[in-house]
Structure 1
């Protein structure tokens, strides 16, 4: 049997009033996340199915609604996104701008050099894949020269080698 949640009658009343003046679907869902378990005894999983969100999101919506009804300001979203990074996207872009000049002039970029500079800037040792992922995030890709010309003909090359004689 799932745990029951103790939701106060004041909170249920506040959610009922909030449903009537909700302007967005998210506001309505926040109020429903309190009303469904509070009035009708639904579990969080059942409420999540009815609202169309996950059980964890229903819990977050309840916490957000409780905080808002108590007059507290809720911080922004805490889940999702890129939280584990040494540099922000803007810092990464500025960091790569130094290497862009060399690349635009046809120079070869060595990931080893970028990695060393990145480690120096971030003051941490990082794996080489960190640098490759950063380059991919900013639209860089590895371009290597072709091993041979697309119109090459092996037979013609071998025939030329046989007839070239002392021309070399």
Structure 2
């Protein structure tokens, strides 16, 4: 037997969110809460009804329950630069001479960029990391 769906505390505002949704994303998010709680649908049935995978339906549902909007970069939504070597500003500073030559019709060559990045980083880098 599956667990009972959670979210009873936000069930009162979910129908209002459905009525006021202006795009498909917030509509699906609110539907992911309402369908299991009011109509007894399973997560699989809910996902099929709103046209998403089971994982996305669960993610949208949890975002709504936590009070987050679709696309909100909260703790439950992964995004951003998680394995960055430099800040964006430092990276732009390091790549500036290479990008300027490329604007003038030159070609970006990773073999020229890699040593400069390694010096700035203070260690060797894999070629695949330089390409990224």
TM-score between both structures, scaled by the size of structure 1: 0.57
Q: CA deviation at 1:4?
A: 2.9
Q: CA deviation at 1:76?
A: 1.2
Q: Give the corresponding residue for 1:95.
A: 94
Larger radius of gyration: 1
Residue 76 in structure 1 maps to residue 64 in structure 2: no
**1:99-147, CA deviations, whole angstroms, 9 ceiling, x for partnerless residues?**
45677697xx671x5323212323443112222x14xxxxxxxxxxxxx
Give the aligned length. 128
Q: CA deviation at 1:34?
A: 0.4
Structure 1's unaligned 5+ residue stretches are: 135-168
Q: 1:90 to 1:48 in 2, by over 3 A?
A: farther
Q: 1:102 to 1:10 in 2, by over 3 A?
A: closer
Q: 1:50 to 1:123 in 2, by over 3 A?
A: farther
Q: CA deviation at 1:73?
A: 8.0
Q: CA deviation at 1:94?
A: 3.4
Q: Secondary structure at the match of 1:13?
A: coil
Residues 67, 73 of structure 1: 8 Å contact kept: no
